[in-house]
Structures are given as C-alpha cells and as structure tokens.
Amino acid sequence: MPLPKCWPLFTKAKGGFDLFLDKIASMRKNDPYSEAKKLIESSRHITVTGHLNPDADALGTALGLWHIFKRLSKRTDLFFASHPLPQHLGFLPGFKNIRQSINPQSDLIVTVDSGSLDRIGIEIEDGVKIINIDHHRSNTRFADVNIVEPEFASASEAAFKLVESAGWDVSKEAAVNFYAALLSDTGFFGYEGVNERVFDFAKRLLKLGADAEWTARMLRENQPLSKLRLLPKVLQTLRLYLDGRVAGLDITLRMLEESGASVSETDDIVNYARSLATVEVGFLIREEADGGLKVSLRSKNRVDVCKIALSFGGGGHIRAAGFTVNGLERELLKEKLLKRIEEELQ
C-alpha cells in the first residue's frame, strides 16, 4: 500500500513530527473549503451574488446559501445586478429579498455560478474579501478563496459541499433552492455530467424537504405568455449549416419588443437548435440593448463549445458556453463563428 505523501517528513527529518504538523496545517490552509468556512464565520456582513442574467442555478445556489447564512445569525444580503430579474423564477424561496444594489456594509462577497468577476456586473471595493463558488471550466479564479469544481453539474453541488464540510444546518428553503439549481443545470437530470454523485445529492435534498414534482413543475410550467409569443418568431429564423450539423437561431430587439419578452425568457431557446437529429452544435445570437451580440452555444457530445467561446473572449462548459461581441455585424459574426465551429467539427 503506498504511504501517504507526508510520511517521509514524519520519519526522516529531525524534528519531523513538528514538520508533519506544519504540513497538515498548511494543507488545511490551502483547502478552499476550510478557508471559506473561516472567512464566512469571521465576516460581519455577507453579500451573496451570482452572474448577470441569472438562471436557476445562479439564483437557486445564491438563495440556498443566503438561507443557510441567515441561520448562522449572519447579517446577509442577496444581490443581483440584472434588472428586471426573471419573474418566472420568483417561486424560489426568498426571491423577493433580492436587492438590486449592493449593501455597502458588506465585508465579504460570495459569488456563485460565475466564471469571472465581470460576470457579476459590479466593481468590488478594495478590502472586501471574495469567495468564488463555481463549476465553470473557464473560471478565472478571481477571488481570495476559489471553490471551483468543473466536474460538478451545478454550482449548488459546490455550495452544498462547503455547507456540509462546515457542518452548517440546511433548512427546507435552502434545499428547495439547491434542488431547483441542480434540476435546471442538469437539464432535468439529462446532461452529460449526471452520475451517481448527482443523484445522491438530489436524494439528500429531497430528504431535507425539497419537493421534486413541485420544483419541476415550477421550472417548466410557470412561463409567461410573452415567452411563448416569442418562440415562433425565433424558430422562423432557424437555419442549417455544414450539412445540417450546425443550426443557428436569431433574436432581435424588435422580436423582444413585439412579444413583450424580457432577456431572461430567451434563456433555453438555443436548445431548440441543438434538438434537431442531425445537429451537433446549436447557436443563438441575441441582439443586446447596446447593439452588442450575445452568442449562446450548445453541443451534443463531440464539440467543446467552451473552447470556441473562449476564443471569442467568453467561456462556459464543454456543452454549453457563451460570449458577447461588440462592434461586429451579425452576418460577419456568423461567418467567423461558423469557421471556428467547422474547425472543431473536424
């Protein structure tokens, strides 16, 4: 049986036992989970936040942690910079407590589901500590403590691992939020990252009081009419490329205006492009209010779309990624994008 790595310190060196203890102490220090626990427990005022245009993973993970921190009798705020917030996710327990301006008293910011600091949408003042809890492969490790688990199916898995290792209580409200985050980011337990560990996590959340049927129903069947009015307009734009292996969709500001839909209602429409039998890569290009173009990329099982998004300054996961460009015309962007996709399809 192989000896533990620190064994030679214990046996050989003079004063070896001290060195052994030092080594254990430094291992603890470098463990982001115990570092995060220490920072959270010693902070005076925590703000929990997530990425711009938050989805159910960002909101559910942040809300879950917020409930848990409140139980620790911590002064805790929830903050999301995007306005308006996705009202169809208003069923998440605690949603109405979300602030849209940051509390200046915060001495600790906990970000969830955010691959880089610019995805939060605010400047963070000097002296304020940051803990980054995420599962994006492209995460830039921007914080004082980085808990980044690219193998995890949802940011809520990393948050729960922290909560568990710290020994904090998980209320029913927190469990519901984490379950919604997990369900949404795994495509209702259908995506590649789903494995026994994910189902074990789901089972624990159900034991803690999450309701599987209710959460699934609220995520799927709580849509505003404007979203269904938008959908046919977007599907009209469907085009196939590269022998049908790629499908693209467009959303313009005008379509949003005509249907009354907000940006958060466009979230999963890109999945229609990927849903076609022949398609490996689906993309959606959405016009932003400032004239920028937001690109969403999805793949089935071969192409690493995170790599493509990174080459355009964005990021994400292997099968779901995105980026935003400014000052590029839509057809020119499509040309460049298709070239990159073609390279990855080889």
Contact residues toward ligand AMP (CB under 6 A) are 51, 115, 136, 296, 314-317, 320-324
Q: Of the candidates 157, 173, 185, 265, which one interacts with Mn ion according to CB under 5 A?
A: 185
Q: Give the nearest distance from C-beta 272 to ligand AMP in angstroms.
A: 13
Q: Give the nearest distance from C-beta 339 to Mn ion in angstroms.
A: 27
Token pair for residue 3?
Answer: 């000896």
Identify which of residues 57 and 173 has a Cβ nearer to Mn ion in the complex: 57
Q: Give the nearest distance from C-beta 338 to ligand AMP in angstroms.
A: 17
Token pair for residue 260?
Answer: 């009354």
User: Where does the chain show beta strands of DSSP type E?
Assistant: 45-50, 75-79, 98-99, 108-112, 129-134, 145-148, 239-241, 246-251, 281-287, 293-299, 315-316, 320-325
* Residue 58 binds: one of ligand AMP, Mn ion, none (C-beta under 5 to 8 A by kind): Mn ion
Q: What SS3 state is found at 207?
A: helix
Burial of 281 (0-12, 13-18, 19+ CB in 10 A): buried
* Residue 315 binds: one of ligand AMP, Mn ion, none (C-beta under 5 to 8 A by kind): ligand AMP
Are 328 and 293 within 8 A, CB to CB? Answer: yes
Q: Of the candidates 37, 39, 47, 55, which one interacts with Mn ion according to CB under 5 A?
A: 55
Q: Is 173 in the site for Mn ion (CB under 5 A)?
A: no
Q: Give the nearest distance from C-beta 295 to ligand AMP in angstroms.
A: 7
Q: Give the nearest distance from C-beta 134 to Mn ion in angstroms.
A: 8
Instruction: Label the pairing between strands 281-287 and 293-299.
Output: antiparallel
**How many residues touch Mn ion (CB under 5 A)?**
6
* Residue 296 binds: one of ligand AMP, Mn ion, none (C-beta under 5 to 8 A by kind): ligand AMP
Identify which of residues 36 and 155 has a Cβ nearer to Mn ion in the complex: 155
Q: What SS3 state is found at 322?
A: strand
Question: Using alpha carbons only, what angle is made at residue 185 by residues 158 and 76, rounded to the nearest 5 degrees?
Answer: 50
Q: What is the DSSP letter of 295?
A: E
Token pair for residue 251?
Answer: 């959303």
* Residue 286 binds: one of ligand AMP, Mn ion, none (C-beta under 5 to 8 A by kind): none
Identify which of residues 19 and 238 has a Cβ nearer to ligand AMP in the complex: 238
* Residue 283 binds: one of Mn ion, ligand AMP, none (C-beta under 5 to 8 A by kind): none
Q: Is 57 in the site for Mn ion (CB under 5 A)?
A: yes
Are 303 and 326 within 8 A, CB to CB? Answer: no
